């Protein structure tokens, strides 16, 4: 269902109470499907423009002073004409993370402006009851309304906020309002009850009530003179100055620009929306019959900005199809297919800002029938474009590039590394929210540039910043196709990838030439832990080695220490520590078809103390040893 928006807000009036402010009005519509259009009232000799109809919002925003702004992403409003000057409405809208909200009321055109009406019925006046009080209408808050064709622009305000709504008149759609049915149905019922009070207040007894409007500092004050049998008194109603001390000048200017370009918005909203993900393979085979060619508003979509030669003689450009995608509420996305002469066609993804200005564009598909040697096809998913440039000469060659559509509508290239990582996550079916992103690593094999090692750490169970456990996903990827060729998985129960008092601080890939046999080269994964305790410092780095085995990876060396450090000290001077650093060297000797690994260790024992002069001094003792790791048919172990 298309996204709708609505204009509804709470407004403070100075003399009475908090009231809901709204500005569009509506009467009898079948809520479930809006099958019946509002019957227009016949008005003669009036200069007040008719704003009645059923509307959906093209875009809407609530701006707050000193706070975050809110986007209204689903809404509807229906408006009916009640008289020459008055319009009734009911509506519903939804904002993220809140239940739908309904509204209703009456707007009045007064002195070439619209105002929300309210009813003075004695509820806020002491000593009087509804039974012996003559109710009357008063001007509540100014509502700024712009009307052009089927477009309706509305600005409402109250307290510390300002609502900007750009609507278009809605034609009949059987499933309109589906997610707002209950709310708008209740708003309609409340509106119908309100109309009875409105009619009574509008047709007041002129012998018991006099109403006049006085302008003070750009604000109309409605003065009621009540002349009841039991008393005579005055009651003055006022409202907040619509200028709001000029705090929304920038937002007002932006909205005027959007309304000025509302014709563009109407063009956009008539374009069929396609769902994502999708693959665009537009080619000449898609355009066989005459009905395959669509009428495209080339000037409205400003195609000359994308194709400078579009209207130049001899180029014969023609837009023949289009569709829309919904990446964001902050900009529009349209894919337009353009025929370039008789032998070429391409589809271009174009992002427009809300005023209709082109932000960025990218060709996502291409076909030609002159030589038939080149094609472009694209996959669109999320905010990502994966574009395949296909060339046939002696054989088919495919060059893949990736782009990301940013929040501002810009289309930026994605690095090969990020593209490969994203593809791995997708192929493994992992939830991105369960991945410890700062520990993701990848590295191209130095001896094979078409092969990339990728490590994905998956969060297991509960998580906080300093206490977590990670499952291991280690894969080899074809750098060109982005497909996983070999993979390895190990749970946190046995992989040692956990973090608590001893923190996991780094995971790294080691591509040194660990030749475990003449034709088998291993790579390493290094894992670094350290402790934050000052009196008991600790750090440790291990390495695990992996080799290919069929379409999987086999761990042949498990968590072997390459660095280990620990000690105790009094946090001032006195203390002892031991540091061990191991270097792995591939031997020429073999055990069970794999070369042995020589481990040379450098051991440093340190002692700090207060010497005779009262100064902190240090003594170091260094030693070394060598051990041999042999392969037992499954993994390397100490001899």
pLDDT in tens, 573-620: 999 999 999 999 999 999 999 999 999 999 999 999 999 889 999 999
Q: Does residue 194 sit within a domain?
A: yes
Residues 405 and 485 in one domain: no
Please give the Cα distance from 547 to 453 (Å, whole number).
12
Residue 134 reports pLDDT greater than 70: yes
Residues 335 and 455 in one domain: no
465 burial type by CB count under 10 A (0-12 exposed, 13-18 middle, 19+ buried): exposed
Residues 619 and 478 in one domain: yes
Please give the Cα distance from 475 to 455 (Å, whole number).
7
Q: Does residue 551 sit within a domain?
A: yes
Please give the Cα distance from 468 to 526 (Å, whole number).
18
Structure tokens at 495: 């992989």
> What was the pLDDT predicted at 129?
65
Residues 275 and 409 in one domain: yes
Residues 189 and 277 in one domain: no
| Average pLDDT, rounded, for the chain | 86
Residue 318 reports pLDDT greater than 80: yes
Residues 188 and 278 in one domain: no
At 190, is the secondary structure helix, strand, or coil?
helix
Q: What is the mean pLDDT of residues 170-190?
A: 74
Q: Does residue 217 sit within a domain?
A: no
Residues 384 and 496 in one domain: no
Q: What is the mean pLDDT of residues 496-525?
A: 96
Q: Does residue 234 sit within a domain?
A: no
What is the b/e burial string over 610-636, where b = at least 16 CB atoms within 10 angstroms of the residue's CB?
eeeeeeeeeeeeeeeeeeebbbeeeeb
Residues 560 and 473 in one domain: yes
Q: Does residue 4 sit within a domain?
A: no
Task: Please enumerate in sequence order all residues whose Cβ is within 8 A of that of 446, keeping only pairs 6 or more positions apart, or say none.
Answer: 511
CA dihedral 429, 431, 434, 440 (to 10 degrees): 60
pTM above 0.85, yes or no: no
Instruction: Give the least confident one: 11-15, 340-344, 505-509.
Output: 11-15
> What was the pLDDT predicted at 262?
63
Last residue of a domain, one of 377, 396, 413: 413
What's the structural domain count of the chain? 3
Residue 37 reports pLDDT greater than 70: no
Residues 13 and 72 in one domain: yes
Last residue of a domain, one of 362, 388, 413: 413
The enclosing domain of 157 has a CATH number of 2.40.128.120
Q: Does residue 233 sit within a domain?
A: no
Angle at which helices 262-269 and 249-260 pack, to 10 degrees?
60
> What was the pLDDT predicted at 492?
96
Q: Does residue 228 sit within a domain?
A: no
Residues 144 and 189 in one domain: yes
Question: In 10 A of CB 380, how many CB atoms?
Answer: 22
> What was the pLDDT predicted at 598?
98
The answer to whether the beta carbons of residues 488 and 454 sit under 8 Å apart is: no
Please give the Cα distance from 114 to 91 (Å, whole number).
18
Q: Supply angle C-alpha 378, 381, 383, rounded to 5.
A: 105
SS3 letters across 264-285: HHHHHHCCCECCCCEEECCCHH
Last residue of a domain, one of 358, 391, 413: 413
Residues 496 and 558 in one domain: yes
Report the candidate in 224, 192, 222 with the shortest Cα–Cα distance to residue 88: 192
Specify which residues 456 forms β-bridges with: 473
Residue 374: domain span: 271-413
DSSP code of residue 270: T
Please give the Cα distance from 409 to 327 (Å, whole number).
9
Q: Does residue 87 sit within a domain?
A: yes
Residues 348 and 425 in one domain: no
pLDDT in tens, 221-237: 999 998 888 788 888 88
> What was the pLDDT predicted at 177?
57
Please give the Cα distance from 9 to 518 (Å, whole number).
75
pLDDT in tens, 264-278: 877 887 899 999 999
> What was the pLDDT predicted at 348?
97
């Amino acid at each position: 269902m298309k996204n709708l928006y609505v204009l509804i807000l709470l407004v403070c009036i100075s003399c009475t109470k908090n009231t809901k402010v709204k500005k569009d009005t509506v009467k009898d519509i079948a809520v479930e499907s809006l099958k019946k259009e509002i019957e227009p009232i016949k008005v003669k000799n009036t200069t007040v423009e008719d704003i009645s109809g059923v509307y959906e919002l093209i875009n809407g925003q609530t701006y707050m002073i000193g706070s975050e702004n809110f986007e209204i992403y689903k809404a509807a409003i229906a408006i009916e004409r009640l008289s020459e000057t008055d319009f009734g409405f009911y509506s519903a809208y939804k904002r993220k993370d809140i239940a739908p909200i309904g509204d209703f009321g009456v707007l009045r055109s007064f002195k070439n402006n619209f105002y929300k009406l309210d009813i003075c019925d004695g509820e806020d006046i002491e000593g009087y009851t509804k039974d012996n009080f003559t109710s009357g209408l008063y001007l509540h808050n100014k509502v700024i309304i712009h009307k052009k064709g089927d477009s309706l622009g509305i600005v409402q305000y109250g307290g510390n906020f300002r609502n900007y709504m750009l609507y278009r008149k809605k034609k009949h759609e059987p499933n309109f309002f589906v997610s707002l049915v209950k709310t708008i149905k209740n708003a309609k019922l409340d509106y119908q009850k309100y109309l009875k009070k409105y009619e009574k207040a509008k047709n007041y007894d002129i012998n018991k009530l006099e109403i006049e409007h006085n302008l003070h500092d750009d604000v109309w004050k409605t003065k009621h003179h009540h002349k009841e049998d039991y008393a005579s008194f005055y009651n003055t109603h006022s409202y907040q100055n619509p200028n709001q001390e000029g705090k929304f000048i920038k937002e007002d200017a932006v909205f005027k620009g959007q309304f000025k370009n509302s014709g563009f918005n109407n063009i956009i909203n008539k374009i069929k929306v396609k769902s994502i993900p999708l693959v665009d393979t537009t080619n000449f085979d898609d355009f066989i019959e005459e009905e395959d060619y669509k009428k495209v508003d080339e000037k409205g979509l400003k195609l000359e900005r994308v194709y400078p030669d579009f209207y130049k003689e001899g180029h014969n450009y023609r837009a023949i199809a289009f569709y829309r995608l919904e990446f964001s509420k902050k900009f529009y996305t349209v894919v337009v297919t353009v025929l370039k002469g008789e032998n070429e066609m391409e589809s271009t993804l174009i992002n427009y800002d809300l005023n209709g200005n082109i932000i960025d564009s990218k060709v996502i598909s291409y076909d030609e029938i002159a030589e038939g040697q080149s094609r472009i096809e694209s996959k669109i998913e999320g905010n990502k474009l994966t574009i395949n440039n296909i060339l046939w000469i002696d054989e088919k060659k495919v060059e893949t590039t990736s782009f990301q559509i940013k929040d501002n509508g810009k289309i930026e290239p994605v690095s090969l590394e990020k593209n490969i990582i994203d593809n791995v996550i997708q192929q493994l079916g992992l939830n991105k929210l369960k991945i410890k992103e700062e520990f993701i690593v990848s590295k191209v094999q130095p001896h094979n540039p078409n092969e990339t090692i990728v490590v994905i750490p998956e969060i297991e169970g509960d998580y906080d910043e300093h206490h977590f456990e990670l499952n291991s996903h280690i894969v080899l990827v074809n750098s060109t196709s982005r497909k996983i060729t070999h993979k390895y998985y190990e749970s946190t129960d046995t992989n040692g990838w956990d973090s608590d008092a001893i923190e996991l601080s780094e995971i790294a890939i080691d591509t040194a030439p660990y030749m475990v046999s003449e034709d088998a080269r291993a790579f390493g994964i290094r894992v670094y832990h350290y402790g934050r305790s000052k009196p008991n410092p600790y750090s440790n780095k291990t390495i695990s080695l992996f080799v290919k085995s069929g379409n999987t990876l086999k761990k042949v060396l498990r968590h072997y220490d390459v660095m280990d450090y620990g000690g105790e000290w009094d946090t001032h001077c006195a203390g002892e520590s031991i540091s061990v650093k191991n270097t792995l060297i591939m031997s020429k000797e073999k055990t069970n078809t794999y070369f042995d690994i020589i481990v040379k260790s450098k051991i440093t024992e340190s002692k700090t103390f207060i010497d005779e002069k009262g100064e902190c001094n240090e003594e170091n003792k260094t030693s070394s040893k060598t051990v041999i790791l042999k392969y037992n048919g499954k993994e390397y172990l100490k001899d």
